[in-house]
Amino acid sequence: MKNRFLLLLLLLIIPITGYSQADLDYYLPDDVEFDPAIPTPEEVIGHQVGEWHVTHDKLVSYMYAIAEASDRVTIEEYAKSYEDRPLLILTITSPENHAQIDEIKDNQLALTEPNQSGDVDIENQPVVVNLGNSIHGNEPSGSNSSMLSAYYFAAAQGERIEEILDDAVILLDPSFNPDGLNRFSSWVNMHKSITTTTDPTDREYNERWPSGRTNHYWFDLNRDWMPVQHPESRGRIAKFHEWRPNILTDHHEMGSNSTFFFQPGIPSRTHPLTPQLNQDLTGQIAEFHAEALDEIQSLYYSEESFDDFYYGKGSTYPDLFGTIGILFEQASSRGHAQETDHGVLEFPFTIRNQFTTALSTVDAAVALRTDLHEYRIDYYRDVREEASDADTKAFVIGDPYDRGRNYHFADLLSKHNVDMYELSEDLEVNGQEFKRGSAWVIPTDQAEYKFIEAMFETRTEFTDSLFYDVSSWTLPFAFNLPYAELDGGDFDNDLLGNRVENPELPSGEIIGGESHYAYIFSWDEYYAPRTLYRLQDKGVRTKVIQKPTTVETPDGSVEFDYGSIVVALGTQDVDADEIYSTLQTAAEEDGVNIYNVTSGLSVSGVDLGSPSIETLEKPEIAILVGSGISSYDVGEAWHQFDQRYKIPITMIEKDEFGSVDLDRYNTIIMSDGGYGDLSENSISELKEWIRNDGVLILQEGAVEWGISQDLVSLTAKEDSGRFDFSDDLDYVDLSNARGAQYIGGTIFNATLDTTHPLGYGYNDEEIYVFRRGTQFYDQPENHFSVPVSLTDDPLASGYISDYNLELIRNTPSIVVDRHGGGRIISFVDNPNFRAFWFGQNKLFANAIFFGRTIYWASTN
Ligand SMILES: [Zn+2]
């Protein structure tokens, strides 16, 4: 009664004191007493939940304070973000369960092993619920609600909470994306007025570029659960496999005029590898959310949006591991209070819905506890049965020329609990050769068979033609790694060498020791660009060979292919000792083998003084950033250069481009985006810069801009982007029909000219490209200007409509143009997609390092 009165008082107070003022009672159930020894959020962070957007450091302080005060809570830092912020997980359960937490954890793992799961007493095994928040930093109601969850589970008193804590272990992750959360909280807090402006046009509600959605390098962390290329995901996935929660929640926000969404998503779009029972359980859990939201009079819906298809998302990844992943989407106040179709949407309201559904999830988990355990047991038993029935007994995969991509592939799989082994002996399958030392074997008869299947499968038939995200991610294609399926006849256990535990990039070496004449290294290694840049950055003169050569080394004659790099000692200003020590570091850290060449006279092929060996320029790179440009694409390039190649890259605001002296740069990147607002002055300066030997790299949408400026010799296909809707299509079906013509992310077969500078470092003319969007181009007349083209039968994996499949055949993927002394290199497809398309990255590096060595191309 008392609380009801307070609530009434509160409702009266709100309009007087402004928005975003809610008492703790507004959020908490009104029939529960709280332990006064447990600090409330306000007592630690200095303001009420929802009054300000919590900054990450305050969130961390509160979580440590709760852990300190409560014997129900322990806390652990499991990773650091790029900006050095801690990622935390709170383990919340009864003190009795804490006393045997290792046993509970061991039992969770045993439930995934059919030969152990029968030993677990599931009647007494607590259910494990992982509550995950705000992986998109500008969807902050989840993180802000996590303080209420922590407070509630630590401080609530009475029989009901005792029961819950006996039956459940709650893993509370307050912030999946600390850097994004902090970026966003700074934005909205710095624009907050005392007299709240609810006008959606106000600056508070219109975050500038780049938004807080993403992490430090502007990656969407909710696409990285499978690729695991970022520290936030790597730590999180390790925790997931340590605990094997029965339920994992993923609290998001969506458009401000919407209501609240919880899964199940659109049933026809569930990935076929996910069992129906997973969706049925999600539906049973949903009933608890509905009841709880009814109670607080919140509107909601399910099954009409979003899906469980791409396994790189937080609500879908768990489905491959016998866990139920649940997506929540709350209408976003995107600030403190803004006008919407449903009245003024206040931040506290959004927080309350998230908190309420966190509680309903735990209630559901407790009620369905044994069902969830049984589901897990059955799931893994079925997987093992399917695995032993499968025709494919193992995959063998690996590139004999590239340690880097092999390592990154092994690293990715090992993060997902996959059993893999070094290939114990050389193996030939269907004419393909795999070498001991540069290939892995992944037997399918193992617990994570489903995950392996999902990573290797090529799927071109679908029950639905719409996808919330990409429709394909086939890993061997993304890594461009040779692989083969081994059937019962090909496979035997003797092929399994050492088990791969924590793969590391192997070191290379300087073969033949210190040279008095020259060094040479192949461009095949993934990290060869890093080695080249190390040398260039020291002022070492470097050359690239454009025709193969076989040279003499102390170990005999060795053949070097297109793109190999030569360091001739007689032409250097840098001390020979310094060059040698730089190369030693490079060999060790970049996994590159470097050869001592004893003579300039080749055994066969070109000599080292040949005109076919061209001097390289050190890249000085700028990239345009700002409104209208894809922060994802820019971030991918930035991450690639900064984290992997250790090459500095200057970001220039598009608005300020006209006032920058471009002479400092020899390479400029224009990522996917719109450039129609570049000033005339900027454009004429850019064209002048290109004519003076500049290399301009255009990606996706920027290619259109290049065409509009007569810099790119492409024409869009006449029917590109058009759709062939039938005349009897009903109005209500138009939206889906349009969606079915979109390419959300599909993999295509392409051919590559390995003698072209953009093809250096590749040994096979077959390559895969990743396509989003539906802009298709005709082939230019000069076919030497097209080093990469889609094939006549291009669909490799994923969805494309029949209409678009006809249009996309034989279209160009990369096109080179000349303009004065400069080059324009157009990437129709993204070579750096989500940092796991390792097979394409070299194309991008080639544009940077070898772009100005391309002579044959269309001239504009
Ligand atoms: Zn989101």
Distance in Å, CA 674 to ligand 1 centroid: 24
Identify the band that residue 555 occupies on the pLDDT scale cut at 50, 70 and 90: confident
252 alpha carbon – ligand 1 mean position (Å): 4
Q: How far is the CA of 329 from the centre of ligand 1 (A)?
A: 7
In this predicted structure, the answer to whether residue 783 has a pLDDT above a threshold of 50 is yes
pLDDT band at 720 (very low <50, low <70, confident <90, very high): confident
Q: How many angstroms from the chain centroid is the CA of residue 119?
A: 38
Distance (angstroms) between ligand 1 centre and the Cα of 133 equals 10
CA 149/CA 175 separation, integer angstroms: 13
In tens, the pLDDT along 83-131 reads 999 999 999 999 999 999 999 999 999 999 999 999 999 999 999 999 9
The rounded Å distance from CA 57 to ligand 1 centre is 22
How many angstroms does the Cα of residue 139 sit away from the middle of ligand 1?
6
- Point out which residues pair with 91 in neighbouring strands: 74, 171
Given this model, what pLDDT does residue 724 score? 66
C-alpha to C-alpha distance for 648 and 638, rounded to whole angstroms:
9
- CB-CB contact of 192 with 221 (8 Å): no
Tokens of 359: 């509680």
In this structure, of 10-14, 138-142, 434-438, the range with the lowest mean pLDDT score is 10-14
Neighbour-count burial for 190-202, b at 16+ CB within 10 Å, e otherwise: ebbeeebbbebee
- Exposed e or buried b per residue across 604-634, where buried means at least 16 C-beta atoms within 10 angstroms of its C-beta: ebbebebeebbebebbebbbbbbeebbbbbb
> Is a pLDDT exceeding 90 seen at residue 364?
yes
User: What is the identity of the amino acid at 270?
Assistant: T
Span from the CA of 136 to the centroid of ligand 1 (angstroms): 5
Cβ proximity of 749 and 843 under 8 Å: no
Cα–Cα distances (Å) from 801 to 27, 267, 269, 778, in that order, read: 48, 21, 16, 19
Q: Counting runs of H as helices and runs of E as strands, what totals does the chain give?
A: 25, 37
pLDDT digits (tens, 9 = 90+) for 563-620: 999 999 999 999 999 999 999 999 999 999 999 999 999 999 999 999 999 999 999 9
- The per-residue b/e assignment along 130-159, b for 16 or more CB within 10 angstroms, e otherwise, is bbbbbbbbbbbbbbbbbbbbbbbbbbbeee
Torsion-angle region of residue 306: left (phi > 0), alpha (psi -120 to 50) or beta? left
Pair 476, 456: CB distance under 8 Å: yes
> Does residue 216 carry a pLDDT above 60?
yes
What pLDDT was estimated at residue 20? 60
- Tokens representing 276 are 């129906």
Give the distance (Å) from ligand 1 centre to CA of residue 148.
20
The answer for residues whose C-beta is within 8 angstroms of residue 217's C-beta and 6 or more apart is 82, 230, 635, 636, 638, 639, 642, 643
- Rounded CA Rg of the chain: 29
Q: Given CA atoms 162, 164, 167, 170 in this order, what sign does their dihedral have?
A: negative
Question: Residue 788 pairs with which residues in a beta bridge?
Answer: 752, 814
pLDDT in tens, 435-478: 999 999 999 999 999 999 999 999 998 988 888 899 999 999 99
Residue ranges in 156-275 assigned as alpha helix (H): 159-167, 178-190, 231-243
Plot region of 480 (φ>0 → left; ψ -120 to 50 → alpha; else → beta): left
The percent of the chain in helix, strand and coil, each rounded to the nearest 5, is 40, 20, 40
Task: Give the pair of three-digit tokens for residue 318.
Answer: 């768990």
How high is the mean pLDDT of the chain? Answer: 95
Which residues are CB-contacts of 196 (< 8 A; sequence separation ≥ 6)?
18, 19, 20, 336, 337
Residue 353, sorted as left (phi over 0), alpha (psi -120 to 50) or beta, turns out to be: alpha
Cα of 791 from ligand 1 centre, angstroms: 36
Spacing, Cα 198 to ligand 1 middle (Å): 23
Looking at residue 15, its pLDDT comes to 42
pTM: 0.95
Report the first-to-last Cα separation within the chain, whole angstroms. Answer: 79
Sort residue 536 into left (φ over 0), alpha (ψ -120 to 50) or beta.
Answer: alpha
With the C-alpha atoms ordered 737, 471, 808, 847, is the resulting torsion angle positive or negative? Answer: positive
The Å distance, Cα 146 to ligand 1 centre, comes to 16
Compute the average pLDDT of residues 5-26: 59
Report the separation in Å between the CA atom of 576 and the middle of ligand 1, taken as the mean of its atom positions.
53
Distance 250 CA to ligand 1 centre (A): 9
Residue 578 CB neighbour total at 10 angstroms: 13
Beta bridge partners of 441: 396, 421
Tell how far the Cα of 541 is from the centroid of ligand 1, in angstroms.
Answer: 48
CB 60 within 8 A of CB 86: yes
Q: Distance between CA 772 and CA 830 in Å, rounded?
A: 8
Give yes or no for a contact between 244 and 107, defined as CB atoms under 8 angstroms apart: no
Q: How far is the CA of 675 from the centre of ligand 1 (A)?
A: 27
% of the chain beyond a pLDDT of 90: 91
11 pLDDT more than 50? no
Section 221-243 average pLDDT: 98
pLDDT digits 0-9 by tens, 491-530 = 999 999 999 999 999 999 999 999 999 999 999 999 999 9
pLDDT at 736 over 90: no
- Ligand 1 centre distance from Cα of residue 109 (Å): 30
pLDDT at position 3 over 60 = no
Q: What is the pLDDT of residues 178-190, one digit of tens each?
A: 999 999 999 999 9
Question: How far apart (Å, rounded) are the C-alpha atoms in residues 699 and 623?
Answer: 11
Mean pLDDT within 396-413 = 97
Question: How is residue 434 written in tokens?
Answer: 């795999």
Distance, CA 256 to ligand 1 centroid (Å)? 13
Closest by CA position to 696, among listed 665, 673, 674? 665
- In the reported structure, the alpha carbon of residue 208 is separated from the centroid of ligand 1 by a whole-number distance in angstroms of 17
**Measured in angstroms, how far is the CA atom of residue 525 from the centroid of ligand 1?**
36
Give pLDDT, residue 113. Answer: 95
Rounded CA-CA distance 624/653 in Å is: 6
C-alpha span between 613 and 688 (Å, rounded): 28
Q: Give 51's pLDDT tier (boundaries 50, 70, 90).
A: very high
CA of 447 to the centre of ligand 1 (A): 31
Q: Does residue 743 carry a pLDDT above 80?
A: yes
Checking if the pLDDT of 537 tops 80, the result is yes
Say whether pLDDT at 790 is over 90: yes
